[in-house]
Amino acid sequence: MTSKKPGPGGPPQKFPSNSPSELKGETPKIFIALGANIPSVVGPPEATLKAALAALEERGVKVLALSPFHQTQAWPDPADPPFTNAVAEIETQLQPFALLGLLHEVETEFGRKRSAPNAPRTLDLDLLDYQGRVENDEVELPHPRMAFRRFVLEPLAEIAPDWRHPVTAQTVATLLRALR
């Protein structure tokens, strides 16, 4: 079950950019997923996601677009609190491994503890796609499970409807249909 949250998590937000890639019409894009289902030091999950984006911007990661926030049932245990999820398009000078390290650093700042897979968490930041790269070394790109996660694909489709999976070349819409 997924539902969009009104207000600040309303329609996709586009942030102004004067990057050379945008001016030329070329868009090598970087996408991250954000999620939380328990309060952090800054408050409830939605506040945590907003604060995490601000923390990334303070470290030179520019947010170019942000999907609406989605409420998603916890998995694998639906008795856990529901997740608040979103996807952001970002711009950074960091290479994938350094960016992933920064994402983990910010997670830790917001109280993330890596105890058990799929456990409730204060913040989850995932690197989904880095300019269409396919890597399987220090970082797995694209994210190995993103094509099977509705809570990632739905918000991604809202800010990047033309996005294609770097390995399969399937559109985000095709990947979503496959999950139905």
pLDDT at position 117? 77
Backbone angles phi, psi at 119, to 5 degrees: -75, 155
Q: Could you read off the pLDDT of 134-171 as tens digits, one per residue?
A: 999 999 999 999 999 999 999 999 999 999 999 999 99
**CATH classification of 2-127 is 3.30.70.560, yes or no?**
yes
Q: Give the separation between CA 44 and CA 23, rounded to whole angstroms.
A: 38
Of 87, 89, 93, 99, nearest to 17 by C-alpha is: 89
pLDDT at position 76? 86
Question: The tokens of 58 are what?
Answer: 């303070």
50: CB partners within 8 A, 6+ apart? 8
Of 167, 166, 164, nearest to 175 by C-alpha is: 164
User: Which residues, given as ranges, of the chain have pLDDT below 50?
Assistant: 1-8, 14-27
Q: Break the chain into its structural domains and give their ranges.
A: 2-127
81-93 burial by CB neighbour count: b if 16+ within 10 A, else e? ebbbbbbbbbbbe
pLDDT at position 125? 98
pLDDT at position 13? 53
Q: What is the pTM of this model?
A: 0.85
Q: Give the separation between CA 94 and CA 2, rounded to whole angstroms.
A: 32
